[in-house]
Amino acid sequence: MIDFELPPMLKMVKDMAHSAARDAFRPISRKYDDLEHTMPEEIRPLGAMMAQSMGGGPPKKKDKDKDKAEKKPKVATEDVVGATMTAVVGAEEMAWGDCGLMLALPGQGLGNAAISAVSTPEQYERFGTKYASMAITEPGSGSDSGSISTTAALDGDEWVLNGEKIFVTDGERCEVVVVWATVDKSAGKAGIKSFVVEKDRPGITVTKLEHKLGIRASDTASIVFEDCRIPKDNILGSPEIKTKTEGFKGVMKTFDNTRPMVAAIATGCARAALEFTKETLEKEGYVFRYGLSKHNLNAVEKELLMMEAELEAMRLLTYRAAWMGDNARPNSLEASISKAKCGRMGSKITQRCVALLGPIGYSREMLVEKWMRDCKINDIYEGTQQIQQLVVARNILGFSSKELK
């Protein structure tokens, strides 16, 4: 029997996150949309409280060497409710309140998911609860993460980083930056690893803050690394470099964690717009008749009910990707499917809500136009719609990145 109900623990997370979104995010949502680049000080305590209440973010890492005897992952007879599912349930609710403010929560960023994905237990102890951003994109490297040119050279007991990163979410406010860099350009993608760089290190400079369409409560920065030195063990994962077998493949595990999170954010934002639109239309006398054939519905009914169905599909795809990750099942395909579906449909739903509401939707007196602006980013970062479709096609058809571009 398939059970679509959330267990009690996740219901508690959902309720807590919804309360925070309603009582802490919504009242200041417009304020920090207008005050771009201003840190929302009101939510700093909330970040620590959410991390503690939700188990401190991602789970503590286990020592893989101690678990080699149990090399085969156990297929659970009962669902394991882990950090990824907890994160996506909370993310949907907080994004229902405000996407930008959610991304600005200390300790809850995309960099934290990266640290959780590939760090050693010791590294997780050092960096797991830091306010972490993630730096991937470069002026000459966008969706093709394999073309990264930022370098990391080992010099004694330190790595020396040189290069430039752009579109770094929370790049100015964060405590540490997870930086993707190549340790051997001749090795191609296999030479790419991720490093944790503390913001107070000499040689790291924030050079620019972007003015954005949406998620304006969260800063987006450009960062330059000039002979920036970090300890040797700040490379995520094993300090040993095995460029022919690891590198890019290991680093890409980050996306299996972050793409369901982005999908959940898109779902929460679209849900906010759809709920507001339906409530507004009901006040105007619209009645939404469930159970009828679509041919017996009027145009507005049909569109709203179809959007509700799409929203439910978005949520279930996201839950599946998260569940697989928590239950030690490869989820790269499902993570990309959820991100592609939610990114595209989230934008479509919020745009149609603005259109259906007419002047109310377009006015800044309401938040629905802001939700439309905020939601668009979920179809772009963490891999564009086109990239997700490529990942899905390669996985289903069994093609490599060289065979299907």
Instruction: Tell me which H or E stretch contains 390.
Output: helix 385-397
Whole-model pTM: value is 0.90
Which residue is catalytic, options 93, 301, 369, 382? 382
Q: Which CATH number fits the domain that encloses residue 159?
A: 2.40.110.10
Q: Which residues of 33-68 are buried (b: 16+ CB within 10 A; e: fewer)?
A: beebbebbeebeebbeebbeebeebbeebeeeeeee
Is the per-residue pLDDT at 248 higher than 80? no
Is the per-residue pLDDT at 90 higher than 50? yes
Q: Does residue 404 lie in a domain region?
A: no
Q: Does residue 272 lie in a domain region?
A: yes
Listed residues 127, 162, 196: the one ending a domain: 127
DSSP secondary structure code for residue 309 in this structure: H
pLDDT of residue 59: 44
* Whole-angstrom distance, CA of residue 281 vs CA of residue 277: 6
Q: Which residues of 301-333 are buried (b: 16+ CB within 10 A; e: fewer)?
A: bebbbebbebbeebbebbbbbbbbbbbeeebbb
Domain match, 194 and 117 both: no
- What's the structural domain count of the chain? 3
Q: Does residue 403 lie in a domain region?
A: no
Average pLDDT over the chain, rounded to an integer:
88
Domain match, 108 and 145 both: no
279 is catalytic: no
Domain match, 386 and 295 both: yes
161 or 256: whose pLDDT is higher? 161
Pair of tokens at residue 46: 């909330």
Q: Does residue 341 lie in a domain region?
A: yes
Domain match, 280 and 156 both: no
Interval 99-121 mean pLDDT: 85
Q: Which domain holds residue 153?
A: 132-242
Interval 70-81 mean pLDDT: 57
- In angstroms, how far is the first alpha carbon of the chain from the final one? 40
